Structure 1
């Protein structure tokens, strides 16, 4: 039988250079079962998804399940009472291909440390927008602490040098870090998001700088003058065959890992997990021939842009037409208010209306080990990251979200 303890608290902590005040009263309810399992063995996917917020698509059960089907099983750490999920953290062993997006020494820049050792990665396999899946109730902090403890014990038992949870929002990374005193909070990237005004593409166009607006209109006109037309379709078998070829060719062109077999395996897994039902595909067509495509996933009032592929002779500016201009029009017409873009080419995205939000990682030592860097060093490093991004977009201050100012 469980028991209840009322806990009142009032505290200030400093996480990675930001002072956080928090207080309240929580009810610690036991017993909570903590274990790890392949996500496919969770008894109640609906219970997991009830904890997934509007901006957390890549942590949805269907997406994480598709990753497991495509790339093999990894432990998902679960906090449960009976079959009710209170919190969950997917994990994977990291990327060995050298992709800088998933190489800790590349992500963490010049912050001193032994970052080339084997770390356990938290979040989805090769996901660049992770989220904290946890109950919103009085047990939240307790559940987070218990899950982190389980992860650290697992990492110690399996001889990982540390644990990294990257690509988190600023708010969630702070919350996670304050639940583990030995954790380090480190800023490391920027998340590009397009917000869609109530009056749709016309309002989006009018809100742009004059030079940007003229550039967008010219790119759309050049695309159309080359015979380009935009069509939207669900991710079904005929589209999948073409998408796999175009995306694989594009990945090969830019040196990314994963070719045609990788993409077929990915789409097969998405069909099996059910996440393909959430996909919508923007196609660039010239006559009867499809020349380029972009795949988005629908989640609440968000569109998530995930894949892009094109023939070498696709109409000019197909990328920007499909991933920005046509996407904004379609999203506005169908009730979506935000488009999440990929972690790359920030300048071109900002020039086409994207806003940048800070992304942070939380780094934990295994159970029984001390932290990796001092609080003062983490603070200094985080301030330098903020200065880098503000300087990089000095002429576009409106693109930098106000949350970056926490380190001003």
Structure 2
């Protein structure tokens, strides 16, 4: 696909100026998404005297992946269902969506919503939804102020580890004394075992990664998938090129036993994919050292503020200083059934937040309560 298709007619420079620090909305990432079969990837933009705004869009050829299957998610949570097919607003991978803009002008965003709805109306489907998924609170607020009536649905938390000025030592100082002792013990175990970590460009090492990724698949009961992973990593290397970096974990004898694929963009290190050869692990906290500690050190060395650790496995991330931010689903369709069900949706959102705050570990990570309270 060309930029005319993937970026809705905007050139890469203009698009990336709008995307700013949001890697998963960058032209690099969207072109990567477009290289996968099974969906038509595009974008919608609007321009007024106030500025320029844009969003990526996806039309799946068939059933969308489970974490983007809005119909199943809503039904599973006892909320009003939307048509199963339709237009996804946002990228098709990575669980991060943003309204890209150089102005918060309501008229500009209203024009963007109107153009998204026009793109939705053009779909040749009898029943179709128009859904943005994995939005942050501020983007939801702006879209609702631009005329979207539906109540947003809380999907799940997103983990971000802040790395203060001063890097590793400054980050360590943000932890409790008990947690600092644990981290130092885990780092010492790794060092004393003789393991080491190196950082290389993805194009220089991608052929070594499929076997390691397959080891995790087998561990969790999947059949051997090394050939599929080879296709996947070749795509990552070809489409994201030098933007992709890999932390490689080596055993004491130099054998490669693990990797963490990541991207440095704007003010963050984005963790994308990690796996290990589980039969060769030494047992010296390789996972925490590779996936978290080496990346926190890297962020400090580069002077970037955040490590984006993503969703799931929240306890391990929170124990290492992550804060949790809400990710939302928002139906952009006029006449959405989630509008009249506002009270039901709010109760659902409040229940998920209450579950987070009932856990003594995750409770401390809900640091900006206002982000959650707006729609609970």
Which band: TM-score by shorter chain? Answer: 0.7 to 0.9
Q: Equivalent of 1:90, from 57, 69, 78?
A: 57
1:247 aligns to 2:249 (yes or no): no
Give the strand-richer structure, 1 or 2: 1
Equivalent residues in 2 for 1:234-313, closer than 5 Å: 234-237=201-204, 239-254=205-220, 259-273=225-239, 275-286=240-251, 287-312=253-278, 313=280
Q: Deviations over 1:290-343 (max 9, x none)?
A: 110101101012110001111012233211111111111111011211000131
User: For 1:223-269, what per-residue CA distance to the aligned partner results, in whole angstroms no more than 9, with x for missing partners?
Assistant: 223321111111124x1011222124324533689943443333333
Whole-Å Cα distance in 2 between the matches of residues 159 and 131 of structure 1?
A: 28
Distance 1:269 1:149, change over 3 A: same
Secondary structure of the corresponding residue to residue 268 of structure 1: helix
Structure 1, 41-50 or 105-114: larger mean CA deviation: 105-114
| More displaced 10-residue stretch of structure 1: 356-365 or 345-354 | 356-365
Post-superposition offset of 1:95:
7.9
Provide TM-score, normalisation by structure 1: 0.80
1:362 — aligned with what? Answer: 330
Cα offset for 1:405? Answer: 4.0
Contact kept? 1:38, 1:73, Cα under 8 Å:
no
Alpha-carbon separation, structure 2, partners of 1:161 and 1:330: 44
CA deviation string 1:15-34 (max 9, x = no partner): xxxxxxxxxxxxxxxxxxxx
Q: CA deviation at 1:205?
A: 1.4
Hey, what's the Cα distance between the residues in 2 that align with 1:213 and 1:284? 23
- How far the C-alpha of 1:61 sits from its partner, in A, is 0.7
Q: CA deviation at 1:385?
A: 2.2
Give the Cα separation in 2 of the matches to 1:152 and 1:210: 53
- Count matched residues: 364
Shift in CA distance, 73/377, structure 1 to aligned 2, threshold 3 Å: closer
Report the RMSD for the aligned CA atoms in angstroms. 3.0
Residue 81 of structure 2, aligned match among 102, 114, 121: 114
Q: Does 1:398 align with 2:361?
A: no
In the superposition, the TM-score normalised over structure 2's length comes to 0.86
Mapping for residues 30-45 of structure 1, pairs under 5 Å:
38-39=5-6, 42=9, 44-45=11-12
Q: 1:103 to 1:251 in 2, by over 3 A?
A: farther
Gaps of 5+ in 2: none
Which of 345, 368, 371 is the equivalent residue of 2:313?
Answer: 345
Deviation of 1:163 (Å): 2.5
- Residue 67 of structure 1 aligns with which residue? 33
Between 1:257-266 and 1:216-225, the stretch displaced more is 257-266
Higher helix proportion (structure 1 or 2) = 2
Q: Check conservation: 1:186, 1:378, Cα contact below 8 A.
A: yes
- C-alpha change, 1:97 and 1:66, in structure 2 (3 Å) is closer
| CA distance in structure 1 between the partners assigned to 2:83 and 2:120 by the alignment | 19
Distance in 1 between the 2:77 and 2:260 partners?
Answer: 35
CA contact (8 A) 1:364 1:371 kept: no
